[in-house]
Amino acid sequence: MRKVLFLGAIGLLTILLVVSDHVFPPPSEPDRETRTAVVALGDSTMSGEGAGSYEPGTDGEEGGNWCHRSRDAEILKTEFQADQKINLACSGANSDKLRNEQLPRLRQIAGANQVVAIVVAIGANDDPRFSEILNKCFEAWGKRSDCTSSVAPEWTKRVKRMIPKVENTLNAIRQTMRDSGYLDSSYQLVVQSYAAPVSPKMPRSLQNLSGCPLRTSDLQWVVEEAVPELSNGLRAAAGKVNARFLDLARAGEGHEACVGGDDPSTEWFTRLSVDWEGLRDERRASHALQESFHPNARGHEQIARCLSEFLASEKRDGACVPKLDGTLGLTTES
């Protein structure tokens, strides 16, 4: 009887060898499904510019790397179940730089981990060149003139030119993930817009070099027109690639730079920030104002609170708005 069973087993083994390349699955590398990751891509608003506590090598020390990736950046403060929270964003990045410099690293991460969410903030450094606009308004204040009259007529055109560039970048992110074996539905792709860092409600006593040297009319244009239109453009780009969209246009209301007057601890954005020591160093001088008008550590903590809510929800679109208790929360009302 044992001989019959043995011969039968030999026969079964022969059949299996004929119909398959191997009887048992081959040894494999550690399963990436067991290591999850959330990844941040984009520019200064995502890297943590203005929050301080920058990662070594991202504060100009090595090879001119000024990415200013902060240990207090929102992605690292987000409450989302993942083994790793990885910040690839870099201050000053535009769509081209994101594709060329951040996507190769994303490909590596996606191959070694299960990426469950990607949060992207990009576009402001493309055609809108938002930081350049604020600099022009700063210069206009010094000349006792406004910047809106020269900038506003071109703003809509700039935003429209930005949309296809952001769309192409989001498609490149999608393709990178597909090439790494992911379905579009197997991870969250979130596009995040920008918050207005300043407000016309700031005290006039701080509309100068000690706080926020910007004219009231220019501040009104930034809050009422520029930032909302930029958000709408990013929403359009996100929709074209079936990405989720988180609107931050109103995220800073009541907590913008300088609105706290004598109590800056209530503010979520940096005031005019000057690296005085850096001004004396030829290599750092051009970056001496880089941190100005970006979310500070408190701002990143609040944005992370809202992002956490959004990642846990199933809504396609959401917006971050200040709540009555003084914190930032998510609303999904249209």
What is the DSSP code string of 3-32? HHHHHHHHHHHHHHHHHSS-SSPPP-PPPG
Interval 234-244 mean pLDDT: 98
Q: Specify the higher pLDDT residue, 279 or 248.
A: 248
What is the per-residue pLDDT across 75-87, written as a single tens digit (0 to 9) for each? 999 999 899 999 9
Read off the pLDDT of residues 135-181 as tens digits, 9 standing for 90 and up: 888 888 988 888 888 888 999 999 999 999 999 999 999 999 999 99
**Higher per-residue confidence, 29 vs 329:** 329
| Confidence check: pLDDT of 23 > 80 | no
Q: What are phi and psi of 92, to 5 degrees?
A: 90, -5
pLDDT at 59 over 50: yes
pLDDT for the residue numbered 290: 81
Reply yes or no on whether the pLDDT at 25 is more than 70.
no
pLDDT confidence of residue 18: 37
Q: Give residue 13's pLDDT.
A: 34
What's the rounded mean pLDDT across residues 297-316? 97
Kind plus residue range of the DSSP H or E element containing 287: none
Nearest to 57 by CA among 70, 76, 75: 70
Residue 279, classified by CB atoms within 10 Å of its CB into exposed (0-12), middle (13-18) or buried (19+), is middle
Mean pLDDT for all residues in the chain: 88
| Residue 44 pLDDT greater than 80, yes or no | yes
More confident residue, 117 or 137: 117
Instruction: State residue 318's pLDDT score.
Output: 97
Q: Are 68 and 47 in contact (CB under 8 A)?
A: yes
pLDDT at res. 150: 85
Using an 8 Å Cβ cutoff, are 133 and 147 in contact? yes
Q: Quick one: average pLDDT of 22-34? A: 47
Residue 22 pLDDT level (bands cut at 50, 70, 90): very low
What pTM was computed for the model?
Answer: 0.88
| Termini Cα distance of the chain | 75
- Tokens representing residue 158 in the block: 């700039």
Q: Give me the mean pLDDT over the 96-114 stretch.
A: 97
* Cβ atoms of 52 and 131 closer than 8 Å: no
Is residue 182 pLDDT above 50, yes or no?
yes
Percentage of the chain surpassing pLDDT 70? 85
